[in-house]
Amino acid sequence: MRNIFTYILIFITYFAQSQVGGERIYNFLNIPTSARQAAIGGEIYSLNDDVNQPLWNPASINRFIDNHAAVNYINYLGDINMGSVTFAHMINRHFGTLHAGIQYINYGEFIGADDEGNETNNFKAGDLAFSLGYGYQIPWTNIYLGSNLKLLSSNIENYTSYGAAFDFGINYYNDYRPYTFTAVIRNIGYQISPYDEVREKLPLEIAIGASYQLEDVPLKWHITINNLQQWNIAKPNPSNSQTDLDGITTNEDINFFENTIRHIVIGGEFFPDKKFNLRFGYNFRRAAELKLTESRTFAGISAGFGLKMGRLKFDYAFTKYHPVSNTSTFTLYFDLTKRGF
């Protein structure tokens, strides 16, 4: 057990200088395609009974998702569409569980132009990721370990990039305890084939999370502290800048608390074990970066519901990723261990 935490500490130290999304390639890996994940904040790592969760935290590959499958679709911004397919199968209790997933994003069609601005042929762009994961419970403990291998591809017109990435996670979960704790390192990888001669870095992320089921209320809380590989993630919002009578502009001053709160994502689920449940979430960083001074955007807020019907389950999520656009995410689960509907 001591060696496990030693390895985690080595990884954290080695990647301490890494930056956050928006400055890396394959950033689509950090966009949730699961409706449940999107509804509770978009970055919750402590779920244990969702076949989509291993795409975020491979330590959630366990017996609870054996022979479960899911299909996800998200109507993202503009003409951008995303989706994923996942499946898990437990070989046996001694070996552990395998998980497979495919993620894609289609950026739509673009108008091509030459150096002089003359229109040429239209072209498309898209990204694809194939994930193979393995999860294992340490015997006689409540510790779950997991890892993912991701093969990545990105295409813009005739240009293609290939890459590979790893995820590592550790969970503490007990059937008889109301809480779960987890730590995960995602997207440790390498751009094998760059678009040009310069290789870009992947969107590495280190995060910890927890869940807690209230005893007398049908509500389960989730919390994540993300981007631990780079503590200073706050960027001044241009809409919060102030200009005095002399025309001098002063940018937003972000203090320690404002930066700290942007690392936090919270979510909740009402009636989590029932056939119908409600979900909500709040992403503090998204809310801060999409806030406008003269209008209410409701950025950072997400909500959704789940409806279970025999071996099928349908989830929906409503999310604000942009002040003038709403995003809907749809998920259909299949429990292949049951017969009939």
pLDDT tens by residue, the chain, 341 residues: 444 433 333 333 333 334 454 567 899 999 999 999 999 999 999 999 999 999 999 999 999 999 999 999 998 877 889 999 999 999 988 899 999 999 999 998 877 777 777 777 888 889 999 999 999 999 999 999 999 999 999 998 888 999 999 999 999 999 899 999 999 999 999 999 998 888 899 999 999 999 999 998 999 999 999 999 999 988 777 766 776 666 677 777 788 888 999 999 999 999 998 999 999 999 999 888 877 666 667 788 999 999 999 899 999 999 987 666 788 999 999 999 876 66
Dihedral of CA 258/262/264/268: which sign?
positive
Going along the chain from its start, the domains and CATH numbers come out as 2-335 (2.40.160)
Eight-class DSSP state of 142: S
Half-sphere exposure of 163 (CA within 13 A, CB side): 27
DSSP calls for 165-229 = EEEEEEEEE-TTSSEEEEEEEEEEEEEEE-SSSS------EEEEEEEEE-SSSSEEEEEEE--TT
86-109 exposure pattern, b = at least 16 Cβ within 10 A, e = fewer:
bbbebeeeeebbbbbbebbbbbee
Dihedral of CA 50/137/188/182: which sign?
positive
DSSP calls for 88-102 = EEEEETTTEEEEEEE
CB of 89 closer than 8 Å to CB of 97: yes
171's tokens: 């969970």
65's tokens: 């998702």
151's tokens: 């093969």
